Amino acid sequence: MPSTDLSGGLAVAHFRMSFLSDQHSLLFPREWLREQLGKTYIAEQGIGHLNGEAVYVFELAEALELPGLSLENMRHFMMDGRLVLFRLLAFASQIGTWAREHRFCGSCGQAMQQAVGHRMMQCQPCRVQQYPRLSPCMIVVVTRGDEILLGRSPRFISGMYSALAGYAEPNETIEHCVEREVREEVSLEIENIRYITSQNWPFPHSMMFGFHAQYKSGEIIPQPDEIEDAQWFNIHDLPPLPAKNTIARYLIDLYLAQRLGHVEPVLPG
């Protein structure tokens, strides 16, 4: 929660899903970091505790490098396996992004004010209130026996394929989203849609709902500008896959384990 206490605790400095780091740490004494930043931050928010010590995030006005400090992308910390730290940074990034994007009222353009006692921005003139938001989206592994449907977005690293994903639209259930996105992205019809698990995905504020579905009919026709390539891959001959600790990789590994009789993986919580 936001805090009026200006002393004590640890802090991170965030800008567009990156954090100031000295290559050894990105958690610094809060007062020291505030002094280094001067007037370059636009918001300060409490984000919880780590090992019993309060932690805060300073949202930077612009990309900033200080002597001995440089910006490190948050994905780095997801990849290196420090999950406790990554979850803290994920929350910091989402709250920092929210604070940046709600400094002014979207209705009348006036400056928003931080509410006292809970995390909410409010506009005094027109009484608009803004809370941190999540965008619901689905991700689905579509299978056909020993084959898994995987696709490539133009944004992916070279060679990597993943499960299909997409955002839910207004007045749409998440199950309808699964059907619609598969139909739009690869022109296939699916059936036996089954919810598996979810994962908060802070790039920047998604809630991923993971599904498994079975192929029903159709031929793959990738959606222009959205899907660079999509193919059926045999479970014994898969392309490069998303990183461990992602829900996409978990859904793929889960189906492999079930199909091959292996121990089922665990999605890091």
**Is residue 153 a known part of a binding site?**
no
Helix, strand, or coil (residue 263): coil
Binding residue per annotation — 184? no
Residues 6+ apart with CB under 8 A from 15: 59, 60, 62, 63, 64, 71
CA atoms within 13 A on the CB side of 86: 19
Residue 98 among known ligand-binding residues:
no
Task: Consult the annotation and say whether 19 binds a ligand.
Answer: no
Q: How far apart are CA 33 and CA 95, in angstroms?
A: 18
243 labelled ligand-binding: no
How many degrees, rounded to 5, is the angle at CA 78 between CA 76 and CA 82?
105
Residue 204 annotated as lining a ligand binding site: yes
Task: For residue 105, say whether it is annotated as part of any ligand binding site.
Answer: yes
Nearest one of 196, 12, 174 to 94, comparing CA atoms: 12
Retrieve residue 9's tokens: 């605790």
Annotated binding-site residue? 201: yes
H or E element: which one contains 150?
strand 147-152
Question: Is 175 labelled as part of a ligand binding site?
Answer: no
181: annotated binding-site residue? yes
Residue 24 marked in a binding site: no
Q: Is 199 annotated as a binding residue?
A: yes
Is 200 annotated as contributing to ligand binding? yes
Binding site feature residues for a divalent metal cation: 165, 181, 185, 226
Binding site feature residues: 75, 105, 108, 123, 126, 131, 165, 181, 185, 199-206, 226, 248
Binding site feature residues for substrate: 75, 131, 199-206, 248
Binding site feature residues for Zn(2+): 105, 108, 123, 126
